Amino acid sequence: MKVMVVGGGGREHAIIKKLKENNSITEIFALPGNGGMAKDATIVPIGAKEIDKIVDFAVKNRIDYAVVAPDDPLVLGAVDALEAEGIPCFGPNAKAAIIEGSKVFSKNLMKKYNIPTAEYAVFCDMEAALNYLESAPIPTVIKADGLALGKGVIIAQTREEAKSAVRSMMEDKVFGASGDNIVIEEFLTGPEVSVLAFTDGVSLVPMVSSMDHKRAGDNDTGLNTGGMGTIAPNPYYTKDVADRCMKEIFIPTMEAMNKEGRTFSGCLYFGLMLTEKGPKVIEYNCRFGDPETQVVLPLLETDLLTVMQAVTKGELGSCKVRFKDENACCVIMASKGYPEKYDKGFEITYPEELADSIFVAGAAEKDGKLVTAGGRVLGVTAIGATLEDAIEASYNKVEQIHFDNAFYRKDIGARALKAKENK
Ligand code: AMP
Ligand code: GLY
């Protein structure tokens, strides 16, 4: 069986490694993948947004199953285009991917179906938005409607900051058309939890919960990044919270999408905040999270391809999905300067026995060597019986991986450990 994975980061590497455990797969293609995946997949230099080329490649190479991992191609309709050629896919069609593609859509969906989320207002007119900010509670949160490389959310601590965020989105168009409409929403506080769920629109199976670490610096200081590390399970996500989320958020979201004629099939990502008034949705993603996937999939006991195919066929209900009763920690090693300017091209070295624990995001092959090629270079995952064990083991591995200008947070999982102590 020939499988194709669209995307090129650490998340895709984690998906590919997990898929490889299935012996019926003879070859995996990564489009575009990256040089660090070359041992696990055939790298095909087609960009994740080049939908026509992706479809063409799939048809010519008789691909049996496709996994579309990143938000952009999903929102652009990659799954629709592949399915039109008869290629079964894991991932939502464009109609369903709008749950991530438009914040205005997702906020209105939650309001219509009583799914708990922050209070908000939508604006298509800049003057009206600025006017609203004169009396809005501060801090406030400004969100561009469309996809913005994960940078479209600004938490404004002052009225002036809020106004300048609105101007940069609506007047200067820093996120292009994504800022034509904006959402201004209530600032919520509480621990954050990420929950990825398999769903085919009939059943929904939450995966093990996780915790991202978005800021670049230790103790959650510095700039927001794509994610500097993750742990799973998230200790804040207790059985009670999980039951409540299932009843108040997960199932209602699946049913709301069905009622809207936008049945979601694939991995639905719930970004949650556990507020004093209960769990609320911060954001939906129409895909696996990165770097959440790098801790969640290593804990998956069930064969990934089997689960994905069950989702595609609408048979998830008859598929038992099991997770190991262990803990995982992923530390991201980045290029110094990320998420701003950084240098690339430094050789990456590590002992061969670590290869299984490394998910490569930003690396390329040059003259037979692996060199850095991005801000987030790779993720290092370890599993342990306890969270402490997992954290210690992943940092042990990190110390054996070298490249010039490497930097990583030293405190991945520290907040989760504290939460455990306080229980
Ligand atoms: P996103 O880019 O949508 O993942 O949002 C980035 C981060 O902004 C989230 O992980 C939260 O930490 C924060 N955030 C988003 N919306 C809110 C909100 N309404 N209140 C407080 N923090 C928020
Ligand atoms: N880790 C957050 C995301 O994938 O958007």
Report how many helices (DSSP H) and strands (DSSP E) the chain contains, helices first. 14, 23
Fold type of domain 119-186 = Dna Ligase; domain 1 (3.30.1490)
**Mean pLDDT over residues 133-156, rounded?**
91
- pLDDT value at residue 421: 83
pLDDT in tens, 264-280: 999 999 999 999 999 99
pLDDT confidence band for 148 (50 / 70 / 90): confident
Q: What is the rounded (10 degree) CA torsion for 414, 417, 419, 421?
A: -130
Distance of CA 120 from the midpoint of ligand 1 (Å): 13
- Angstrom distance (rounded) from CA 412 to CA 218: 8
pLDDT confidence band for 71 (50 / 70 / 90): very high
- Angstrom distance (rounded) from CA 280 to CA 137: 19
Kindly list the domain boundaries of the chain, sorted by start residue.
2-93, 119-186, 192-318, 327-421
- pLDDT value at residue 150: 73
**Mean pLDDT over residues 152-171, rounded?**
94
**Mean pLDDT over residues 75-85, rounded?**
98
Fold type of domain 327-421 = Glycinamide Ribonucleotide Synthetase; Chain A, domain 4 (3.90.600)
Region of residue 7 (phi > 0: left; psi between -120 and 50: alpha; otherwise: beta): left
| Percentage, residues of the chain above pLDDT 70 | 100
pLDDT in tens, 220-242: 999 889 899 999 999 999 999 99
Q: For a substitution probing ligand 1, which of 155, 185, 280, 287 has the most ligand atoms within 8 Å of its CB? A: 155
pLDDT in tens, 189-198: 999 999 999 9
**Mean pLDDT over residues 29-55, rounded?**
97
pLDDT confidence band for 152 (50 / 70 / 90): confident
- pLDDT value at residue 216: 95
Q: Which atom of ligand 1 is nearest to the CA of 152?
A: 2
Pick the CATH number of 192-318 from 3.30.470.20, 3.40.1180.10, 3.40.50.2300, 3.40.50.12170: 3.30.470.20
**Mean pLDDT over residues 206-224, rounded?**
95
Model confidence at 422: pLDDT above 80: no
pLDDT in tens, 296-345: 999 999 999 999 999 999 999 999 999 999 999 999 999 999 999 999 99
pLDDT confidence band for 423 (50 / 70 / 90): low
pLDDT in tens, 362-420: 999 999 999 999 999 999 999 999 999 999 999 999 999 999 999 999 999 999 999 88
Q: Is the CB of 71 under 6 A from ligand 2?
A: no
327-421 has the same fold as 2-93: no
Residue nearest to atom 16 of ligand 1 (CA): 282
Tell me if 207 sits within 8 A of 289, measured CB to CB. Answer: no
The two three-digit tokens of residue 275, written as one number: 């507020």
Class of domain 2-93: alpha beta
**DSSP secondary structure string for all residues of 291-315:** TTHHHHGGGB-S-HHHHHHHHHHT-
Ligand with smallest separation from the Cα of 223: 1
Residue nearest to atom 4 of ligand 2 (CA): 289
Average pLDDT value over all residues in the chain:
96
- pLDDT value at residue 121: 96
